[in-house]
Structure 1
Amino acid sequence: MTHRLHLEQFGPVHALPVIHYRMEFAWLVREAVHRVRPGCIALELPPTLKTPFLRGVARLPEVSVLSYGTRGKRDEAVYLIIEPADPLVEGARLAQEQGIPVELIDVDVDSYPLHHEALPDPYAIHRIGLTPYYEEYRKRCTSLPHGPEDLRREQGMAFRLQQLARNHDRILFICGMFHLERVKEAFSRPLAPPLERVRRDNVALFNLHPDSCREILGEFPFLSAVYELRRGPLPPEPADGGATLRKRYSALELIAGGKQEIPEDDLLRHAIERSARHAGKEGEFPDRQRIVYQLFREASRHYRQETGEPVHLWQKRAFFRFARNYALTSGMLISDLFQLLAAARGCIDDNFAYAFWRQATCYPWQKNDTDIPTLAISPEEIWGGSRRIRFRPRRKKQKGLSHLGFLNRKKEKRPGEWLEGFDNPSICSYPPEDVVIEDYGRFLKRKGAMQLSEELSRTEPFTASLLDGIDMRETLRNLADGRIYVRENQRAKGGVGGVVVIFDEDREGRRFPYRMTWLGEHDQESDMAFYATSPADNIVGPGICRCEYGGFLLSYPPRRMVDVWQDPDYAFARSKAEVLLLAALDYAPEKHVVYAAARPPRSFFRQLAARMGKKIVYIPLGSLSPVKLKGLRILHILHGHDKREIARDYIW
């Protein structure tokens, strides 16, 4: 919106004060060109770099690096990154697209000192506009150091603007905030041509190496890529079916023996296209906060597919609160990439931080092989330093195995190879996972029996018998009475015959469409019914699928249960969780059924259980270990018993 724009006008010059390498100012350049409709665009760059600079601008969206050497106290290389989200680059790019003459009017100096200015966050412009932002900066810029090289450059730019004013009625001047006020003052008085270098022989243009592109851009690559897409018409919604970094196959393809191969680079590019569409309406001022939110969503999708674990609401809330507070400690409103990665690692885990980094540093247009030489640059060479963050992904903790063994897990040798393992129509489970879930079922049975005993216990004042011992808590609570209280523990009659664990009720019926009932293979296993994510969504090996439980039922003893999902007696159930609870009550030979879920069942089920002579023991899911529950939620379905011999090579 143009109300955020601010232009300083002197003579025919309309000057836009900017901060270099910031997306918000690049967008303001677009609005300024639309409002001013200039006959010429002047940039704060020396004319000795004009030809290679404009050539680099013409290569966009591929990022280029302009390099030249300087002569001072010591010879050193100077680098200029030509990236989309820089206001000077945007000005030159619009000039090329619209046929507007562009002039570089700065003075070429060799030994210009570095300025470290404590500037407010440019994101404030999105809310308050450029006018109050620049007014506050101008009040304080008088205290900033101003050397002879600054004066020389400002007078040189003012002189060239005077020359351009003779031939153009409207000039758009894009200049850094630090210099604009003094350029404006110098423009009103007579000036002589500056003494400067008129030619450089060692200027070279390079293609930036894709690995360097991840580290040295002024705006991190994901933000630059979204800005690049929002410069023109928004791209269509990607037709990848919501695929993520792991390969994805549909049920029809499995039956037909077909295959779907989506390269990782395409998936990352699709995530950027989706984010560009959802970051705001077409032509709107880009909102950095929305773009960061879209980045978080895409990283969450990849993290869930890679690990089988969702990013919970409390983790999301902690991430954005941590990132906000971290930004405030450095005087900023929105976090930079380093702070976002620190928040991702600290509030979720290293696996999520790695997925976040992989998406945040994706710039799909950058290639290694181009028509010009490719140059790799470190952050130290161009910015003078860097901040480092280390990711430590989860790894197996087994003696005798490499700590990084999961990184070497087997992969497809050719696209669709794993689909050849689905020729066996029978399915089975993975025995190590069966052992874990059966152990947890026995733990819940003991916990339920203990909870029943606590409900039946009673406390009374000591009279003639100590019963099962002194109740110290009740005695201390009534210490003023001077009486001793004793406790009597009564054992519940009847055992636990079924266990139901509900992770997600899935009331809309979309997240967990796969439903299955299978019988125990021996006396140490229970019959099981569950609902989970579709196996076709995550193929991890030949005939091996990875799923995530929405909920499951364990019923003892085994080999008695028919398919509960097709039983007409349970047709009145409102959700899949209620089907499992009805089946648990129906098949339990004992009096009690344990029900572990986020919230208790409807009162109707307690009445129904009472009419059947049974009782539901409710255990809140929040009272159980979240780490243990997270490990239980993943299961693997094997197509054929022969897959058990090779499953350990593909399951981690």
Structure 2
Amino acid sequence: MTQHLYLEQFGPVHALPVLHYRMEFAQLVRMAFHQVKPDVVAIELPATLEAPFLRAVRRLPQISVISYQAAEKGGGQKPAETVYLIVEPADPLAEAARQTLEHEIPLHFIDVDTDHYPRHQERFPDSYSISRIGLKNYYEEYRRSAASELPCREDQRREQGMAYRLQQLAATRRRILFVCGMAHLERVKSDFDRQLAAPLERIRREGVNLWNLHPDSCREILGEFLFLSAVYEQRRGPLPEEPEEHGGGLRKRFHVLELIQGGKQEGTEETLLENAIRRSARHLGREGTFPDRQRIIYQLFNEASRHYRQETGEPVHIWQKRAFFRFSRNYAFQEGMLLPDLFQLLAAARGCIDDNFAYAFCRLATCYPWQSESSDLATIRISPEELWGDSRRIRFRPRTKRSKGLSRMDMLKRKREQRPGEWLEGFDDPSICSYPPEDIAIEDYGRFLKRKGSMQLSEELSRSEKFSTSLLDGIDMRETMRNLHEGAIYVREQQRAKGGVGSLVVVFDEDRRKDRFPYRMTWLGEHDQESDMAFYATDPAENIVGPGICRCEYGGFLLSYPPRRMMDVWQDPDYRMATSGAEVLLMAALDYSIEKYVVYVAARPPRSIFKQMASRLDRKIIYIPLGSLSPQKLKQLRILHILSGKDKREIARDYIW
């Protein structure tokens, strides 16, 4: 919006003070261009780089790098330093050049070429503040804070040279838009009113090269992280259409008929990441509005959460979201910034959620769909140390099982599809079965929950009373301390529950809308050590991990022992009154339990009508809150694999992690 814009005017020059490689200033360049309507544009770059820079601008949104060798000061024997200039969309100088090319307006490079310009470590306020206070207040505060700093000799040469060339342009032009670094503008303005001579400078530079930047280097060395640059690029023109995705996720998906006939994968990872960028660009407000960095980060978090849930089956909870933004904000404040940079966002993602989310966040934050390794130019790799002199590193450590004799890098050897549709060839057996290690794990945890339910029931049946004639089952220290003022001793009587636990129901998600867990199945135990099982889960066709091997996520399951007694509970007309899959499982558990008690594990207790139903069947429901159990263990148990034929059990371990 225009209230964010501020221009310093002297003579016919309308000067825009900018910070290099910051998105907010690139947008201000566009606003200044439309407000001033200049007949010529001048930018803070030397004429010796004009040809490669303009070619790099014409390649945008592909990112380019200009490189040349700076002469060694004093003619020393040390190798010359390589100077790099990145041309990226969110840079205000690149945006100014793009505007001149699009509107066919003359562009002048008025800076002075120098070989010995020193490295500056000057700290500027966070550019995001412009979105709140505008450029005028931002620039005035900067001028006050930098008033006592003296320019170096090279800065004086450059600023006098730029002022001289602006004087030459002002003699023939009426409206000049000058895009200049904020640190130089005040002195250029004062030199403009003085009589200046043409600067002594290099008029030609040999060995200037233009490169295509490797996608891997793009992730590390740009001034803005790639997701932000990509969203800015999408919003330069008309807003993109809302992308269409059919259950869009990063899983290996196949249509139901493809499992029978073979077919193609519905979408690639690159397409889905690009759709996330397009969707974020569209949801940031109407076309032409000032880009809000905070909202872009919020959209990035939401898209990463979406991919994280599609890959792992775990949602990002509201408390994790709150912790993420609070942590990243405090981290940014500690570094003297208003909003976090990419490194701080990744640290918050890893610390507040987990490494898998941090990886999904990083993959999306460093996605730039226009950049490829092959192009019309030679490709170059540049490390952060070469460009900025330093770097910060962050590592993601996925939790993997480790045992002696196995390499820690086994996770990198996971088998993948050699050709499209190869894994579909495994679905030639009409029978299905489970993966035995998962059966063992879920049976063990089922026995643990039954013991926990029995202990909880015993706790409910126990009572305490004042000591009179018998110690009963021992002194109740808690009750004695609570009533210490009475001067009495309390003893505890531990009553034993009559009967055992016959069936177990675990509900991860009630799925009341009946759309997330469409797959419903009843399995019979294969031997006397297994229970009969009924469950509802995600569609197996959504995630193919191997030939004839599907990965699913439980919404809920029922275990009933002894085995080989259970009919198909999902087709049983006696359970028609159930409003959700969880209620079907609970009704079946009450029916098939041969013991008095049924354990029900869920986020909330069952409706009161089920307690009445249990009473009529001489059964009792023991409710265990889902939140009282280990979330890590539940996360492991929630995943199951369905195999197309028992012959797949021999190869399943190579595809299941």
Distance (Å, rounded) in 2 between the aligned partners of 1:404 and 1:509: 40
Partners of 1:259 and 1:419 within 8 A in 2: no
Partners of 1:395 and 1:404 within 8 A in 2: no
Shift in Å at residue 621 of structure 1? 0.9
Shift in Å at residue 393 of structure 1? 2.0
Structure 2 residue aligned with 1:110: 115
Q: Residue by residue, what CA displacement relative to the aligned partner does 1:289-331 show, whole Å, maximum 9, x if unpaired?
A: 2222222233333333444433333222222221111111111
Shift in Å at residue 213 of structure 1? 1.3
Q: Which moved more, 1:4-13 or 1:136-145?
A: 136-145
Distance (Å, rounded) in 2 between the aligned partners of 1:148 and 1:538: 64
SS of structure 2 residue aligned to 1:9 = strand
Q: Which moved more, 1:450-459 or 1:558-567?
A: 558-567
Q: Residue by residue, what CA displacement relative to the aligned partner does 1:447-501 show, whole Å, maximum 9, x if unpaired?
A: 1111111111111111111111111111222223222211110011221111111
Partners of 2:16 and 2:177 within 8 A in 1: yes
Partners of 2:251 and 2:542 within 8 A in 1: no
Distance (Å, rounded) in 2 between the aligned partners of 1:354 and 1:567: 44
Q: Which moved more, 1:620-629 or 1:558-567?
A: 558-567
The residue identity in structure 2 corresponding to 1:375 is I
Structure 2 residue aligned with 1:300: 305
Partners of 2:69 and 2:207 within 8 A in 1: yes
Shift in Å at residue 372 of structure 1? 2.2
Q: Residue by residue, what CA displacement relative to the aligned partner does 1:353-393 show, whole Å, maximum 9, x if unpaired?
A: 22222222222222222222222111111111111112222
Partners of 2:260 and 2:424 within 8 A in 1: no
SS of structure 2 residue aligned to 1:399 = coil
Structure 1 residue aligned with 2:535: 530
Structure 2 residue aligned with 1:452: 457
1:163-242 to 2 correspondence within 5 Å?
163-242=168-247
Distance (Å, rounded) in 2 between the aligned partners of 1:335 and 1:145: 31
Structure 2 residue aligned with 1:507: 512
Q: Which moved more, 1:529-538 or 1:569-578?
A: 569-578
Structure 2 residue aligned with 1:153: 158
Distance (Å, rounded) in 2 between the aligned partners of 1:86 and 1:413: 41
The residue identity in structure 1 corresponding to 2:464 is T
SS of structure 2 residue aligned to 1:460 = strand
Q: Which moved more, 1:559-568 or 1:296-305?
A: 296-305
Distance (Å, rounded) in 2 between the aligned partners of 1:103 and 1:373: 27
SS of structure 2 residue aligned to 1:251 = coil
Distance (Å, rounded) in 2 between the aligned partners of 1:430 and 1:270: 35
Q: Quick one: structure 1 residues 261 and 241, their matched pair in 2 at CA, closer, same or farther if it must change by over 3 Å? A: closer
Structure 2 residue aligned with 1:634: 639
Structure 1 residue aligned with 2:84: 79
Distance (Å, rounded) in 2 between the aligned partners of 1:144 and 1:246: 56
Question: Quick one: which of 586, 591, 595 aligns to 1:586?
Answer: 591
The residue identity in structure 1 corresponding to 2:10 is F
Distance (Å, rounded) in 1 between the aligned partners of 2:220 and 2:273: 17
1:32-181 to 2 correspondence within 5 Å?
32-73=32-73, 75-181=80-186
Shift in Å at residue 81 of structure 1? 0.3
Distance (Å, rounded) in 2 between the aligned partners of 1:276 and 1:315: 25
Distance (Å, rounded) in 1 between the aligned partners of 2:403 and 2:288: 54
Q: Residue by residue, what CA displacement relative to the aligned partner does 1:316-353 show, whole Å, maximum 9, x if unpaired?
A: 22222211111111111111111111112212222222
TM-score, normalised via structure 1 length: 0.97
* 2:395 maps to 1:387: no
SS of structure 1 residue aligned to 2:102 = helix
Q: Quick one: structure 1 residues 8 and 242, their matched pair in 2 at CA, closer, same or farther if it must change by over 3 Å? A: farther
The residue identity in structure 2 corresponding to 1:569 is D
Question: Quick one: which of 529, 554, 563 aligns to 2:559?
Answer: 554
* 2:623 maps to 1:618: yes
Structure 2 residue aligned with 1:23: 23
The residue identity in structure 2 corresponding to 1:69 is Q
Question: Quick one: which of 279, 287, 293 aligns to 2:292?
Answer: 287
**Identity between Structure 1 and Structure 2 (%):** 73
SS of structure 1 residue aligned to 2:393 = coil
Aligned length: 652
Q: Which moved more, 1:238-247 or 1:94-103?
A: 238-247
1:334-373 to 2 correspondence within 5 Å?
334-373=339-378
Distance (Å, rounded) in 2 between the aligned partners of 1:144 and 1:275: 41
The residue identity in structure 1 corresponding to 2:5 is L
Distance (Å, rounded) in 2 between the aligned partners of 1:127 and 1:569: 63
Partners of 1:379 and 1:386 within 8 A in 2: yes
Distance (Å, rounded) in 2 between the aligned partners of 1:492 and 1:440: 21
Q: Residue by residue, what CA displacement relative to the aligned partner does 1:497-533 show, whole Å, maximum 9, x if unpaired?
A: 1111111122222222221122112221111111111
SS of structure 2 residue aligned to 1:117 = coil
SS of structure 2 residue aligned to 1:123 = helix
Shift in Å at residue 79 of structure 1? 0.8
TM-score, normalised via structure 2 length: 0.96
SS of structure 1 residue aligned to 2:127 = coil
Distance (Å, rounded) in 2 between the aligned partners of 1:565 and 1:11: 82
Q: Residue by residue, what CA displacement relative to the aligned partner does 1:91-121 show, whole Å, maximum 9, x if unpaired?
A: 0011111111111111112211222222111
Partners of 1:395 and 1:405 within 8 A in 2: no
SS of structure 2 residue aligned to 1:363 = coil
The residue identity in structure 1 corresponding to 2:411 is F
Q: Residue by residue, what CA displacement relative to the aligned partner does 1:2-57 show, whole Å, maximum 9, x if unpaired?
A: 22111111111111111100011101111111111111111011111111111111
Q: Which moved more, 1:544-553 or 1:137-146?
A: 137-146
The residue identity in structure 2 corresponding to 1:248 is R
SS of structure 2 residue aligned to 1:135 = helix
Q: Which runs of 5+ in 2 are unaligned?
A: none
The residue identity in structure 1 corresponding to 2:560 is S
CA-based RMSD of the aligned residues comes to 1.7
Q: Quick one: structure 1 residues 162 and 633, their matched pair in 2 at CA, closer, same or farther if it must change by over 3 Å? A: same
Q: Quick one: structure 1 residues 251 and 281, their matched pair in 2 at CA, closer, same or farther if it must change by over 3 Å? A: farther
Q: Which moved more, 1:601-610 or 1:259-268?
A: 259-268
Distance (Å, rounded) in 1 between the aligned partners of 2:381 and 2:414: 31
Shift in Å at residue 160 of structure 1? 1.0
Structure 1 residue aligned with 2:488: 483
SS of structure 1 residue aligned to 2:111 = coil
Q: Residue by residue, what CA displacement relative to the aligned partner does 1:606-632 show, whole Å, maximum 9, x if unpaired?
A: 222223222111111111111111111
Shift in Å at residue 583 of structure 1? 1.6
Q: Which moved more, 1:244-253 or 1:116-125?
A: 244-253
Partners of 1:396 and 1:405 within 8 A in 2: no
Shift in Å at residue 242 of structure 1? 4.2
Distance (Å, rounded) in 1 between the aligned partners of 2:357 and 2:292: 24
Distance (Å, rounded) in 1 between the aligned partners of 2:143 and 2:255: 60
* 2:435 maps to 1:430: yes
Distance (Å, rounded) in 2 between the aligned partners of 1:204 and 1:406: 41
Structure 2 residue aligned with 1:471: 476
Distance (Å, rounded) in 2 between the aligned partners of 1:287 and 1:560: 61
Q: Which moved more, 1:260-269 or 1:620-629?
A: 260-269
Q: Which moved more, 1:431-440 or 1:305-314?
A: 305-314
Distance (Å, rounded) in 2 between the aligned partners of 1:101 and 1:310: 53
Distance (Å, rounded) in 1 between the aligned partners of 2:379 and 2:491: 82
Shift in Å at residue 395 of structure 1? 2.0
Q: Residue by residue, what CA displacement relative to the aligned partner does 1:180-220 show, whole Å, maximum 9, x if unpaired?
A: 11211222232222222221122221111222111111111
Distance (Å, rounded) in 2 between the aligned partners of 1:506 and 1:165: 70
Q: Residue by residue, what CA displacement relative to the aligned partner does 1:163-182 show, whole Å, maximum 9, x if unpaired?
A: 11122211111111111112
Partners of 2:309 and 2:315 within 8 A in 1: yes
The residue identity in structure 2 corresponding to 1:137 is Y
The residue identity in structure 1 corresponding to 2:410 is G
Q: Quick one: structure 1 residues 218 and 473, their matched pair in 2 at CA, closer, same or farther if it must change by over 3 Å? A: same
Partners of 1:261 and 1:415 within 8 A in 2: no
Shift in Å at residue 261 of structure 1? 5.4
